[in-house]
Amino acid sequence: MKSVTIQVFGRVQGVGFRYLTKMVADKLNIKGTVANRNDGSVFIEAEGENDHLNEFINAVKMSPSPSGHVEKTTITEQTLQNFTDFRVTY
């Protein structure tokens, strides 16, 4: 198991990005949270098995929303938070 934070920059708010990110997370059994930030970015905490987490990160980088566009991501490893599900937060 691995845990990361991901900050996503680009056209990622107002395009269904968080909800489609949750759909990808649920499909890959990723646990964590996704939230909009005041600076226009999206902040994700995600944890799961390494292969699934890598697939999740790649999906986020490509933008799970067809209307979104990811310009940049920053990814930082963190200690496991032991999330029980994946939630969209505000």
Predicted TM-score (pTM) of this structure:
0.96
Q: CB-based contacts of 5: which residues, under 8 Å, 6+ apart?
A: 43, 44, 45, 46, 75, 76, 78
Architecture of the domain defined by 2-89: 2-Layer Sandwich (3.30)
Q: Which two tokens stand for residue 74?
A: 């920053």
Question: Mind listing the pLDDT tens digit for each residue in 64-79?
Answer: 999 999 999 999 999 9
- Tell me the C-alpha to C-alpha distance, in Å, between residue 70 and each of 49, 50, 76, 82, 84: 24, 22, 17, 27, 27
Question: Mind listing the pLDDT tens digit for each residue in 11-67?
Answer: 999 999 999 999 999 999 999 999 999 999 999 999 999 999 999 999 999 999 999
- Reference 90, options 44, 16, 45, 34; nearest CA is 34
90 band by pLDDT with thresholds 50, 70 and 90: confident
**Residue ranges per domain, the chain?**
2-89
pLDDT for the residue 73: 98
Point out the residues that are catalytic. 18, 36
CA 28, CA 52: separation in Å to the nearest integer? 6
